[in-house]
Structure 1
Amino acid sequence: MRDTVLVYDDDCGFCTWWAEFFDERSDVPIVGFSDLESDLEDRLPEDYERCSHLLTPEARYSCGASIEETFARSSVGRPLRPLVDRLRRYDTYTTLREGAYRRIAHNRAVWGRVLSKTPPAREGESTEASIE
């Protein structure tokens, strides 16, 4: 069993951009939905494909909490860890965090025009239209 891993939608260019951002700035490995092995899938909620998840030995962080916790473990976010820990004590903050995650997730096609990488699940796909 892997200790800590970020599980994300590897069929989404915007999601892939963020996953690779964290992969380059932390020691948290990333795994796409298309590459899930049973040991990881067993640790995820039934509807896991609705958002990203950070799995640790102690907890499962989902949706906005997964991005927040992965950020706090990254070289960029580590200095902000005390602030993140304090903010988590407030329901208003967690409501805002999850609302922001949902808003961005529902508009990831728009965000993907600005921040995007070829998703691993789509690598090797032909971009040419096929004639039948």
Structure 2
Amino acid sequence: MNADSQGMPAALDEDQVGLVVEVFRMLADATRVRVLWALVDRELSVNDLAGCVGKPATSVSQHLAKLRMARLVRTRRAGTTIFYSLENDHVRQLVLDAVYNAEHAGPGVPAHHRGDAGVREIARHHEAAGE
């Protein structure tokens, strides 16, 4: 392997490392992961999110406050209702990648690959072979 720094990313400064650690800390909670997953392609109110994740609205609201402080979600007010959505496409991609990566740890073909015709053919081959 080439030991020079060509093609290598620049080192992260301590402040940036701290921010990255905080993002991962926010992802280290099952309820917050469920909340972020529910927001991948839509915006929802606290009550709607509570229904999606099966937790009381007060608990979800506390998680949302943390996610908002970490700049992972944003709000939009419509009358008296506040709607939450993911802060940006980077957060969306981070959530998708985390879930998709976790799917690879399980048996069989990950759900996110099942729409791919080539992957479906490989899965059929494995099923036919009794694997």
State if a TM-score over 0.5 links the two structures.
Answer: no
The TM-score by the shorter chain falls in which range?
A: under 0.3
| TM-score (norm. length: structure 2) | 0.27
* Higher-RCO chain (CA-CA 8 Å, sequence separation at least 6): 1
Q: Which has the larger helix fraction?
A: 2
| TM-score (norm. length: structure 1) | 0.27
Q: Which has the larger radius of gyration?
A: 2
